Structure 1
Amino acid sequence: MELDYKAIGKRIKIARIQAELSQEALAEKADLSPTHMSNIENANTKLSLPMLISIANALSVSADTLLCDSVIHSKEIFAQEIQSAVADCDEYEIRILTEILKASKRALRQNKKLNQH
């Protein structure tokens, strides 16, 4: 399995924005040049494991959080993302999103069964 550098870059950018850091500030905290940080976020360059750890530490997130799109067993990370996505929902929004999620799950499982036959 190959790493999805575009997804990793996107997750770094999201975590950076959530941490209220500019690219320059994150680059400084991770001991990278601002240009290199931009190239990582935009998937114009691959990043090494030490660089990934440095960025994760600078953002105070786990490496799993940044890599979950490339890791098969990431259920916990995605479950946390769902929980975070609905945390600020009102009663109406949470009901609608629950129904959408249930319908999506049914459709996925039905499609999976059709493809197995």
Structure 2
Amino acid sequence: MDRMESLEDWLAALQSAGCPIVVEGPKDRAALEQFGILDVVTLSREPLHEVVEGISARSKRVVILTDLDKEGKLLYSKLRQGFSRLGVQVDNVFREFLFSTQLSHIEGLATYIRRER
């Protein structure tokens, strides 16, 4: 993938990622769907290992976009370990790009983009 220079590049690359994208909640999912990103899996009351197993049954690659706060980082770590254990590649490029922005919660994506323009 080419280097992402802007949030618009990030969104375009995410739209064409071709794999499931894991987010924490329904507001995060809605934020991504607003930009045409549709293969989004929301963490719910289902145990994490069931989410990991369900995704690994249909894909060998995944993007994890949990929030960049303490809880989100913990979730990311647990998910990454689970996916790795089942042979699913975790694509970190999208998450790493977020660390270069001031966006810490996916649900705030639309507001952040409006403010940056």
In which range does the TM-score fall when normalised by the shorter chain?
Answer: under 0.3
**Structure 2 length normalisation: TM-score?**
0.26
Q: Which has a greater percent of strand?
A: 2
Q: Which one has the largest radius of gyration?
A: 1
Q: Which has a greater percent of helix?
A: 1
